[in-house]
Amino acid sequence: MDHALTAEILSTLEGAGFALYGICRATETSHRAKFTQWLEQVGCGEMTYLAEHIQQRMDPCEFVPTARSIICVADRYTDGAPEQIHGGNVDRNISGAIVSPRGRVARYARGRDYHSVIRDRLEPIADDLRRRFPGNRFRVCVDTAPILEREHAQRAGLGRIGKHTLLIGEKSVGSWIVLGEIVTSLDLAPSNPVAGDPCGTCTRCIDACPTQAIEPWKLHAQRCISYLTIEHRSAPAEWFHNRTDDWLFGCDACVEACPHSQPRESATRVQPNPAYQASHSDFDLADVLSWSEQSRASMKLSKALRRAKLSMWKRNALLIVAGTNAATWSDQLVNALKQLASDEGGDVWLREKSAELLRRCSGA
């Protein structure tokens, strides 16, 4: 076990600007039974990839043969300062005219795509190690690989998993973090994991979830707004209507409610990475409902935001509109609904939902 090399790697990670970093052993998960039970009882909806490569998810050595260590990192993408909720509010411009409601984007997706931001700093580190230690293996992972990132990060001392199933980072950064790893065959000294339950009797994340998707340390994926707005490709279940608040892409409700994620003086020692500075925080819903493929492309959305196809953006916008007062809808919004309702060649659900909303607007 190379302690000197371990210290050097950790220093390099700090120099690369990661908010949190550590190393754990590449050992099999201790939650195999719980993960299997979750798949069987709760399910992953249309995220079928979670049910694939199960053995690799359970054991990093199946993912990277000869793996002995996992280098874990986290980026902080926001300070978590409170922000105004738009969806149910009636906004007016300076002349007093009604302005269309807006839909929020989850904060992780407002700036550059975190997959690229993290990978662009981990790959050079891995390349340097490959040159120095030929014959060893180094595989960079950022979210998409079949490994249990949060469990490894917890074992590497980056934080503890909360009742909302997210990692609550150390140094008061809360859950405003995204993760990355280098799985390697090097024998590195593991960091000390953080012990203890971070939640105690607190249930604020559970209480804050608009769709009751959270049980303590268990997420019902098919009830989660983030799942619905990003991963679910088809029509939403009926009970989702009027329950998405103002979330257009993703959802931060549980993180916003978590005491560990509140902005505090101690957290200012770890600033958010500037790469995640917001380009798109929210969108005018009338604009979204009027988007064409060309107009959406002109928005130059990040790779993360492009994960939702055009019909999904419009579906998500309609779900927010359904929860607002029809008397407050702007002419632009009503016209967008009329256009969708009359589009015989378009998505059936969008057409029918738009027509339903127009009937409410007319009092029919």
Q: Any idea what DSSP says for residue 2? A: B
∠ Cα 242 246 247 (to 5°): 100
Looking up tokens 């180094």 gives 138
Strands (E), 26-115: 69-76, 91-92, 98-99, 102-105
Which residues fall within 8 angstroms of residue 189, CB to CB, at 6 or more apart? 1, 2, 3, 6, 23
Distance CA 44, CA 229 (A): 14
Beta bridge partners of 218: 215
Could you confirm whether 143 is annotated as catalytic? yes
Neighbours of 335 (CB within 10 A): 14
What are the CA-CA distances from residue 271 to residues 21, 225, 276 (Å)?
15, 28, 11
User: 364 burial class (0-12, 13-18, 19+ CB within 10 angstroms)?
Assistant: exposed
∠ Cα 224 228 234 (to 5°): 145
**Of 354, 107, 357, 88, nearest to 246 (Cα)?**
88
Q: Which of 2, 59, 91, 143 is catalytic?
A: 143
Distance CA 123, CA 129 (A): 10
Q: Any idea what DSSP says for residue 274? A: G
User: 285 burial class (0-12, 13-18, 19+ CB within 10 angstroms)?
Assistant: buried
Q: Residue 353 carries which side chain, given as an amino acid letter?
A: K
What are the CA-CA distances from residue 81 to residues 76, 225, 358 (Å)?
13, 21, 36
Tell me which residues are annotated as active site: 143
